[in-house]
Amino acid sequence: MDPLTAYARIWLLQQLEQAILNGPGYALKGQPLLAIAYLINLILAIRAARTGSLHRILVAHAMVVVLYLWRLPYMWDEDHWAVRTDLVVLVAALAVSRTAKAGAELRAAVLAEACAIVPLIMSLFYSGSAMWKANEHFFDPRGSCGTMYLTTDLRLLVGESVLLGTRAGQALLAFVAASAPALTLVVELSIAACLLAPPQTTLRRCGVFLAMLLHLMISLTPAPLNVTEYSIVCLVRLFFLVPHATAAALQDAYEMRASAKLACAAVAAASGALNLNPLGVVGTPIYVALFMLFARALYLDASTVPASSRSAAPLPAGTTYKKWHVAESIVFCYGLLALGLADQGPSKPFANIRSSHGANNHYFLPLGVLPRRLKGHPPSLGLGGGVYRVDDCNATVVNEVFPGELQLHSEADVRVMRAAGHTARLFSPAFAVIIAPFLATPNAPGPSFVKYTLPARELRRLLHNARAANDPFYLEYSHLPDYTGDGSGVGSGHAAVPSRVRVALDGRGKWTCTVLRRISWLPVGETAAECEPGELALLGPPPLWVRKLTLAWPYPVLEGEPEGQRGFCHGE
């Protein structure tokens, strides 16, 4: 089978999973045009896979870019990863079309370009995912996402009764909980290094297999951490590290006896029973099927793929395009977080990293440089204004998604995590915003309200969205001018401030903004005054380029936590 045809058919599985999971979701959220666009995208992917036509492959990839630009900024990290590798295929076709003849020569040249560039990009993605985890919160077992992942996987593998009811199980649980952060970092760095090895080498195959195992673990993790879409995106891109072997493996799959096909399908389908939710029922079987295909591909790459295919060196990639792709990926993986421009997108899945608020919890890399430098500027400046704390709110459209605590773990997983010293608390507002609000636990207004911090630009976006819902509400916020996020006192999310702002929209559409100041010489009591021009609540939404190209999630301020903003896994 021609490698590009094989790639189109494997790539189709990712588009199928996204169409099933995302299309209906957007329809239910009142975005029918986006749901239709996902259906069109799936149809284009099916046409490309059916014929293997390079033109149809490029059209389908172009549609993915359109969907990406449409959905910005609300999408998963892996969507940002996927579009960058899809762009490699598009740009490769443009780069070689001027020199290669149409037909087999053009297809071979496009494949060679992609095989020269995608491994570099994927290595950067995995290296960023590892390096950003080298922070004090990820290495704190009380709130590390790595500890949460591995302890729940261990519960699935060994069982709660063994882990909590035997000395050996308790010792194993303690060891896994303590070593999970370091182990995660080492595994991802190892993958990044191995993917840089030359084609058809044992080291490259080890990198691909290690990535396959990592993503298998993620796909089988108990809900809500079974992010199979991420695993599928990554494995599909690893095609370009073993293209000929994967094409041969897919051809073998077509030629298998019916009984063997049925057995493989049964194994894949059975894996969906481990997590009876959409990600598990739809995504896990697709990933397991791809896992079996790539396992066969690695075997063929090492043994039976014809020598002519195995030894053929890829054509040299266009130097300019290769440098552009790599440079953009470096900025994407490292630059955006260092500058504090993105909480969503760069390669830092479940890293407990803090960037966009101007804080820095990393051991040695810079984080949040621009928010920190611009915090003294007024909030009317797109990236200025510093950090604000939302102290209370009764707007349903806000409270159903922020701060986005997920309480979807099974009771057994919660007991195991707490026995391991983890708080078992997970905040991931992206789940509520991107998938559906009902996934998150609603934030209750009043004394039990879970406070959270946001940079000025995101508070402006939040207020704009709340007003657009046209339902009466109130919201109170405080400016934290000395916020550093690194401890108690004036730098923490708990910091006491002399005044706060209360905004409200009444049933007649009247918008009021009031500054409430504490009376310093009384234990209780406040004065009220109208907000002055320039107050954040009176500015309206941030500029379009800020809303489209940057995104920052809220960080909860938990009562009882000495430093306020740790002791939980912060997903995305």
How confident is the model over 259-280, as pLDDT tens digits? 999 999 999 999 988 887 777 8
- Residue of 231, 138, 123 whose CA lies nearest to 182: 138
Compute CA distances 455 → 114, 342, 356, 388, 508, whole Å: 39, 11, 7, 6, 30
| Tokens describing residue 206 | 């080890």
Number of domains the chain contains: 1
| Res. 311 pLDDT band, cuts 50 70 90 | very low
Residue 189, in any domain of the structure? no
| High-pLDDT (> 70) share of the chain, % | 94
Domain-embedded: residue 216: no
**Structure-token pair, residue 68:** 């990406």
pLDDT at 408 over 60: yes
**Average pLDDT in the chain:** 91
Rg (CA), the chain: 25
The answer to the question of residue 19 being in a domain is no
For 451, the domain range is 369-570
Cα gap 388→402, rounded to integer Å:
14
Give the pLDDT band of residue 306 (cuts 50, 70, 90): low
Query: Is 334 within a domain?
Result: no
In a domain, 120, yes or no: no
Predicted pLDDT at 429: 93
Q: Distance (Å, rounded) from C-alpha 568 to C-alpha 322?
A: 40
Position 154 in a domain: no
> CA–CA distance from 288 to each of 49, 252, 261, 264, 301 (Å)?
20, 17, 14, 9, 20
Is 533 within the bounds of a domain?
A: yes
Amino acid of residue 380? S
The letter for the amino acid at 37 is A
Does residue 364 sit within a domain? Answer: no
Global confidence as pTM: 0.93
How sure is the predictor about 494, in pLDDT bands with cuts at 50, 70 and 90? confident
Residue 492 — very low, low, confident or very high, per pLDDT cuts 50/70/90?
confident
Average pLDDT in the 429-444 region? Answer: 90
